[in-house]
């Protein structure tokens, strides 16, 4: 969905609205699906993914220009399979209505917490990881008992059409639906009165989505992006650290919302870091343009934007260090990793999320300077810390506020179904994955059960001495 002003719903909003109303009617007919029904829907989604995987690999690669099969397996297929398996394993526990503590003044009554489906959940997914970022939220929403409507990115038309066909063949239109179209349809989609809306994409478009949802008082989960730092401590082992940073940066050619956007490292490690990065690049990607393991930049516009970032950095006196002898390949839209050293802070590469194989390197003398640099910008979606000093690690983590953290590696926190995944501030709001996703797409309803032996009648008027005694007891016991 492109960044454009919110407009009136277009003519094509009519079939869009009809699809939404079918889902709404489906929910109204079955407002609290049983555990067995939810499990069966999750199993159908898993079977669908297994069946469509070969075509999915081809479609995503064609949408990108080239994307390795292994990247799609690693990032778009296996994580969804694991998420579905995790949800099935834990769903019965998540669904339970549970007793919770009751204050003394309200006993012998008792409290319960009930989790209920919200209704119809909308999911707007991006092009960079089109399988995972569409189907992982759908798993959480189905597990919570909702109906789901997906709008995948128009930048990946082959995968979007494949997903639409497969969902239509697997789910009834009142269970789950996929709609495809351009930014105009995207604007109409987010203006629908969903019971919850999850959007993954840029911060700029996320603001527009939040504004559109606000008209319906629709709660939103926004998974955005930002400039996620990798902070190297003085005691880090470059031989261990650098290959992990390079892998996290170049997976999907850096077109990852939680990719390391820049590196902060002690000044005395700079030259050794550059040399180690060059060696790691040669080891993981000995060639670029003809390398089947190297992903293309998805669109010509994004490819040109990255080249412009490098041109501006050179023109403004930054040291641009290509880590491979190959020049950028316009034909393949492949760009070797470039480090940017000594970049002035006003450069776009220092202010904007890069989303590609460019990595600014910033040096510091004391860790306080690294913390201050992170906190001077908008809150990032991820932070990576490399080192062995536990006290310093905790200081960095507690003095910064970010979406999520991986210590001594990159990216891997996104794969933890036992942890929430989400941003903060400009990098997003809300979270999902595992039980966190189930709760995001549920209404947690507090229920108080009054006892027939309650003394509450002593609070009824006319007020007198009994009222004062009971009020005094409430103050003491409360």
Query: Which residues are known catalytic residues?
Result: 223, 257
Closest C-alpha among 406, 414, 411, 409 to residue 431: 414
Cis peptide before 362 (omega within 30 of 0): no
The values of phi and psi at residue 273, to 5°, are -65, -45
The values of phi and psi at residue 404, to 5°, are -160, 165
Determine how many CB atoms are found less than 10 A away from the CB of residue 107. 12
Determine how many CB atoms are found less than 10 A away from the CB of residue 468. 11
Beta strands at 98-100 and 110-117: parallel, antiparallel or unpaired: antiparallel
Across 14-146, where does the E strand assignment appear? Answer: 98-100, 110-117, 120-124
Cis peptide before 108 (omega within 30 of 0): yes
Beta strands at 110-117 and 442-449: parallel, antiparallel or unpaired: antiparallel
Closest C-alpha among 126, 135, 110, 147 to residue 32: 147
CA distances from 332 to 2, 65, 67, 337, 355 (A): 24, 7, 11, 15, 17
Structure tokens that stand for 102 in this block: 């009751």
Residue 180: is it exposed, middle or buried by C-beta count within 10 angstroms (0-12/13-18/19+)?
Answer: middle
Is residue 54 within 8 Å of residue 107, measured between CB atoms? no
Sorted by sequence, the CB contacts under 8 Å of residue 316 that are 6+ apart come out as 343, 344, 346, 347
Relative orientation angle of helices 35-64 and 78-95, to the nearest 10 degrees: 160
Helix, strand, or coil (residue 5): coil
The values of phi and psi at residue 270, to 5°, are -60, -50
The values of phi and psi at residue 476, to 5°, are -70, -50
* Whole-angstrom distance, CA of residue 330 vs CA of residue 245: 26
């Amino acid at each position: 969905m492109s960044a454009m002003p919110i407009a009136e719903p277009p003519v094509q909003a009519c079939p869009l609205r009809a699809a939404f109303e079918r889902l709404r009617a489906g929910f109204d007919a079955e407002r609290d699906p049983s555990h067995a029904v939810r499990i069966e829907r999750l199993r159908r989604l898993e079977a669908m993914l297994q069946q469509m995987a070969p075509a999915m690999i081809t479609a995503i690669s064609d949408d990108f220009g080239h994307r390795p099969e292994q990247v799609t397996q690693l990032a778009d297929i296996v994580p969804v399979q694991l998420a579905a398996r995790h949800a099935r394993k834990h769903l019965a526990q998540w669904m339970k209505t549970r007793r919770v503590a009751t204050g003394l003044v309200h006993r012998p009554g008792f409290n319960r917490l009930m989790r209920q489906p919200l209704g119809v959940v909308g999911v707007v997914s991006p092009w960079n990881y089109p399988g995972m970022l569409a189907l992982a939220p759908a798993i959480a929403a189905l597990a919570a008992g909702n109906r789901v409507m997906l709008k995948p990115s128009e930048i990946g038309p082959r995968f979007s059409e494949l997903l639409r066909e497969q969902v239509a063949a697997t789910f009834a239109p009142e269970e789950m639906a996929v709609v495809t179209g351009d930014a105009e349809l995207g604007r109409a989609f987010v203006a629908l009165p969903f019971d919850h809306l999850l959007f993954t994409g840029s911060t700029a478009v996320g603001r527009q989505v939040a504004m559109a949802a606000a008209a319906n008082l629709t709660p939103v989960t926004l998974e955005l992006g930002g400039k996620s730092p990798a902070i190297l401590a003085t005691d880090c082992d470059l031989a261990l650290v650098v290959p992990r940073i390079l892998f996290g940066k170049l997976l999907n050619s850096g077109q990852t919302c939680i990719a390391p956007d820049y590196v902060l490292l002690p000044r005395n490690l700079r030259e050794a870091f550059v040399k180690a990065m060059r060696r790691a690049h040669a080891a993981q990607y000995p060639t670029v343009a003809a390398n089947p393991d190297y992903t293309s930049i998805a669109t010509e516009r994004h490819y040109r934007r990255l080249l412009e970032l490098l041109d501006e950095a050179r023109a403004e006196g930054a040291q641009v260090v290509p880590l491979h002898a190959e020049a950028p390949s316009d034909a393949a839209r492949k760009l070797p990793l470039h480090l940017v050293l000594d970049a002035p802070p006003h450069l776009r590469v220092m202010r904007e999320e890069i989303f590609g194989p460019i990595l600014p390197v910033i040096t510091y003398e004391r860790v306080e300077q690294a913390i201050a640099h992170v906190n001077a910008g908008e809150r990032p979606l991820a932070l990576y810390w490399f080192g062995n000093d536990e006290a310093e690690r905790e200081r960095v983590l507690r003095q910064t506020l970010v979406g999520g953290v991986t210590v001594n590696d990159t990216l891997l926190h996104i794969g933890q179904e036992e942890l929430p995944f989400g941003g903060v501030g400009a990098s997003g709001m809300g979270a999902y994955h595992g039980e966190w996703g189930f709760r995001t797409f549920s209404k947690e309803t507090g229920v108080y059960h009054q006892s027939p032996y309650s003394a509450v009648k002593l609070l009824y008027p006319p007020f007198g001495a009994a009222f004062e005694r009971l009020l005094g007891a409430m103050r003491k016991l409360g």
